[in-house]
Structure 1
Amino acid sequence: MKAYFIRKATSRETVGLFVAPSLVALAGVVDECCDPTLCEYAPAQTGGLMAADVTASTWPRPAGEAATGLEDAVLSQQWEDDLSAIDSTLQWKPLAPAAWRLLKTLTPAVEGTQPSELTDAENSPK
């Protein structure tokens, strides 16, 4: 599994931080909140999200509990640096090709391909 920062390509608006085993799976997860063909991704380096303060939340969350403990989360120093306009070394790439591969996988009869033709190896980041 790898972690990815996702933003909208045109506006650079933050979409989120996602974890997925391949770019096609990433496109599927991003599709839960916005159109992945309009997004860019950058692999996240070592880092994390941390609870900003002592929290009463626990994991696993009790049934019906809305709080996750990460409502006011802060980025680790590495991620702060990675996402800084001044210090950023992230290389953003379009997510659209993986989104189109996902669509082909979900609609093989329309595209004339079989899902087996779209291997996970070719959909994984290099």
Structure 2
Amino acid sequence: MNNFVLSYHPFTVNPSAGQVLNHVKINRHIAQYYAPFPGTYLLKSASTAYELNDSLKGFFEVGSYLLIRFESYWASGQLPQDIWNWINSGSIPLPPPVTPSPPPTIWPQGSLGQALAEWGKSKP
């Protein structure tokens, strides 16, 4: 997989940040992405810079952007270690499964709730 940096002006109206995110998500040339800060995406792609650029230039028709392919051994900076692992290896670790929380216990209010609470205390 090739590593790319996509940089664009995040405060323009066209395309908006949401439109860019949507295009990154559905672009067939982008296998994985990470957005470390506004206006910047780190991308993984099996495509060449030319192919990836071709898939972006129509989208950024009225806006400007910069696409740079980089090798992991030329990169440095301060990002979470998981992201450096991703840049170096080419895979994003899956997050741990979400354990559903138990449903809330709802007690009746007023004197019925108080009676049930007292009854529960007196059970053996």
Q: Please say which structure displays the higher CA radius of gyration.
A: 2
Q: Give TM-score scaled by structure 2 length.
A: 0.30
Instruction: Name whichever structure is richer in helix by fraction.
Output: 2
